[in-house]
């Protein structure tokens, strides 16, 4: 008989209890941090949560506002196209300059329906060197069309003289405000029986004769020019401009080449006139006109009035067939008796 194998009784399985898990490194760090900082940490966490909630709320509010604005615009229809329209453009102003000014008043980022549009256009107009004052800014909607206009009514500045200072030239208006040199009309031509001004010579129709526009030059100003759009507040320049404005009323103004203010206030010579006028056409003979000075404000002195001095010139021009430049070497307007040189 085969022997039965003795089997060992199965040893009882030992059940080991798992070791309790110790705190993680993160937990240890947080616990240590809590012990050291206490309530400060709790307050910081609370503040962080509140800040996050507020940020989320603000962002959500902005998105909601954007959707509301878009819905309002969609309800109002497509955006209104508009342009800036200058009212009362003077005859001396070329269309090119009018477009330059209108372009400087355009605010493409502001919708036509925006209540701030007219206010922003007014601000831009007030800063333009070509605009002396703003009378009106109106929003005009074209009836039955998806177009509109911002009509601007202003008083414009006009260049009346060219000032030479240290080999540079500046155009100024009647008050001495410096104007943008490259935007001043410098050419003129008769088109359709009317005299028109142009900024650029190549803008003149080829079928007509063009000539350089005449500006009286003021020479001898001592003070440097300010920036464009600012008033050149120099006493000698202001006296020169006063004389230019008088001469511009005369038919022979195109024969006046220069007003010389170098001796203003007798700063060069006590015997020479404070103001001189030079009459000259192209490179022909020049006539030196001794004007003197204007009466002091409020009186207190005796000098020939400027109106009487201009009458001297008027009579002289009439007697010489409309000519002033080159008729004499000099004309002296300062005395009670009008005198001239012999040649």
Beta strands in the chain (DSSP E): 81-87, 131-141, 147-156, 161-165, 168-172, 178-179, 187-191, 194-198, 210-212, 216-219, 256-260, 275-279, 287-292, 330-332, 339-340
Q: Considering the domain boundaries, does residue 312 fall inside one?
A: yes
Q: Are residues 147 and 99 in the same domain?
A: yes
Higher pLDDT, 19 or 253: 253
Distance CA 308, CA 329 (A): 21
* pLDDT above 60 (res 16): no
- Angle at CA 158, nearest 5°, toward 155 and 164? 145
Q: How far is residue 177's CA from residue 133's CA, in Å, rounded to a whole number? A: 13
Q: How does pLDDT run across 109-132, given as a tens digit for each residue?
A: 898 888 899 999 999 999 999 999
The CA distance from 84 to 140, in Å, is 10
For residues 275 and 221, state if they share a domain: yes
Tell me if 325 is assigned to some domain.
yes
Among the listed residues 260, 86, 279, 93, the one whose alpha carbon sits nearest the alpha carbon of residue 163: 260
Query: What pairs with residue 195 in β-bridges?
Result: 190
Residues 238 and 305 in one domain: yes
Say yes or no: 320 and 182 in one domain. Answer: yes
Of all helices (H) and strands (E), which one includes residue 324? none
Tens of pLDDT along 73-110? 554 555 778 899 999 999 999 999 999 999 999 988 89
Please indicate, yes or no, whether residues 316 and 231 belong to a single structural domain of this protein.
yes
Domain for residue 288, yes or no?
yes
Of the residues 136, 156, 176, the one at which a domain ends: 156
Residue 19's pLDDT band, with cuts at 50, 70 and 90, is: low
Instruction: For strands 131-141 and 168-172, give the pairing.
Output: unpaired
**Contact in structure between 303 and 273 (CB atoms under 8 Å):** no
> Do 108 and 166 share a domain, yes or no?
no
pTM over 0.85: no
Average pLDDT, the chain: 86
Query: What share of the chain has pLDDT > 70, as a percent?
Result: 81
The pLDDT value given to residue 198:
96
End-to-end CA distance of the chain: 172
Task: Say whether pLDDT at 7 is over 90.
Answer: no
**164/182 Cα distance (integer angstroms):** 16
Helix pair 39-76, 25-37: axis angle to 10 deg: 100
Considering only residues 51 and 11, tell me which one the structure prediction assigns the higher pLDDT. Answer: 51
CA triple 260-328-252, angle to 5 deg = 65
Do 303 and 173 share a domain, yes or no? yes
31 three-class SS = helix
- The answer on 218 and 85 residing in a single domain is no
Asked if pLDDT for residue 12 goes beyond 70, the answer is no
Residue 20 has pLDDT above 60, yes or no: no
Is the residue at 56 inside a domain?
A: no
Span 322-340, average pLDDT? 91
Say whether both 108 and 138 belong to one domain. yes
Segment (H or E) for 219: strand 216-219
Q: Which range has the worst mean pLDDT, 66-70, 91-95, 266-270, 338-342?
A: 66-70
The pLDDT score that the predictor gives to residue 36 is: 65
Question: d(Cα 18, Cα 109) in Å, to the nearest integer?
Answer: 72
Q: What is the pLDDT of residue 146?
A: 77
CATH code assigned at 113: 3.10.20
State the DSSP H helix or E strand holding residue 139, giving kind and residue range, or none if neither: strand 131-141
Which letter does DSSP use for residue 228 in this model? T
Q: Which residue has the higher pLDDT, 255 or 70?
A: 255
Domain hosting residue 329, numbered range: 161-186+214-340
Judge whether 182 lies within some domain. yes
CB atoms closer than 10 angstroms to residue 253: 14
276 in the same domain as 181: yes
Judgement on whether residues 175 and 147 belong to the same structural domain of the protein: no
Is the predicted pLDDT of residue 29 greater than 70, yes or no? no
**What confidence tens digit (pLDDT) does each residue in 133-145 have?**
999 999 998 766 6
- The domain total for the chain is 2
pLDDT digits (tens, 9 = 90+) for 200-249: 999 999 889 999 999 999 999 999 999 999 999 999 999 999 999 999 99
Estimate to the nearest angstrom the gap between the alpha carbon of 71 and the chain centroid.
Answer: 37
- Using one digit for the tens of pLDDT, what is the confidence trace for 151-194? 999 999 999 999 999 989 999 999 999 999 999 999 999 998 89
At residue 40, the pLDDT reads 64
- In this prediction, residue 52 carries a pLDDT of 75
pLDDT band at 70 (very low <50, low <70, confident <90, very high): low
Q: Given the structure tokens 């005859």, which residue do they identify? A: 91
Give residue 130's pLDDT.
98
pLDDT on residue 212: 95
What is the reported pLDDT for 10?
53
Q: Do 122 and 152 fall into the same domain?
A: yes
pLDDT of residue 306: 95
Residue with tokens 């059940």: 15
Q: What share of the chain has pLDDT > 90, as a percent? A: 63
The span from the CA of 75 to the CA of 108, in Å, is 21
């Amino acid at each position: 008989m085969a022997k039965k194998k003795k089997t060992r009784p199965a040893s009882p399985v030992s059940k080991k209890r798992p070791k309790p898990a110790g705190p993680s490194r993160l937990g240890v760090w947080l616990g240590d941090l809590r012990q050291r900082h206490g309530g400060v940490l709790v307050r910081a966490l609370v503040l962080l949560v509140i800040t996050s909630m507020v940020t989320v709320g603000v962002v959500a509010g902005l998105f909601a506002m954007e959707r509301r604005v878009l819905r309002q615009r969609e309800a109002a229809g497509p955006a209104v196209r508009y342009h800036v329209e200058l009212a009362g453009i003077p005859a001396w102003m070329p269309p090119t300059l009018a477009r330059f000014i209108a372009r400087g008043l355009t605010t493409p980022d502001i919708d036509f329906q925006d209540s701030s549009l007219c206010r922003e256009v007014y601000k831009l107009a007030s800063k333009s060197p070509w605009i002396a004052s703003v009378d009106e800014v109106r929003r005009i909607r074209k009836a039955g069309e998806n177009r509109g206009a911002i009509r601007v009514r202003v008083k414009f500045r006009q260049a009346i003289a060219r000032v030479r200072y240290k080999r540079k030239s500046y155009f100024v208006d009647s008050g001495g405000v410096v104007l943008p040199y490259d935007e001043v009309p410098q050419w003129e031509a008769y088109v359709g029986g009317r005299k028109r001004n142009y900024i650029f010579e190549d803008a003149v129709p080829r079928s007509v004769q063009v000539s350089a526009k005449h500006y009286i030059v003021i020479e001898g100003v001592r003070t440097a020019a300010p920036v464009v759009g600012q008033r050149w507040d120099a006493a000698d320049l202001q006296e020169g401009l006063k004389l230019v404005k008088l001469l511009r009323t005369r038919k022979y103004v195109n024969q006046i080449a220069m007003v010389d203010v170098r001796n203003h206030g007798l700063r060069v010579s006590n015997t020479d006139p404070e103001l001189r006028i030079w009459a000259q056409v192209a490179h022909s003979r020049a006539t030196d006109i001794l004007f003197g000075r204007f009466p002091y404000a409020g009186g207190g002195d005796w000098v020939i009035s400027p109106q009487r001095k201009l009458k001297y010139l008027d009579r002289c021009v009439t007697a010489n067939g409309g000519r002033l430049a080159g008729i004499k070497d000099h004309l002296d307007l300062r005395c009670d008796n009008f005198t001239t040189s012999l040649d």
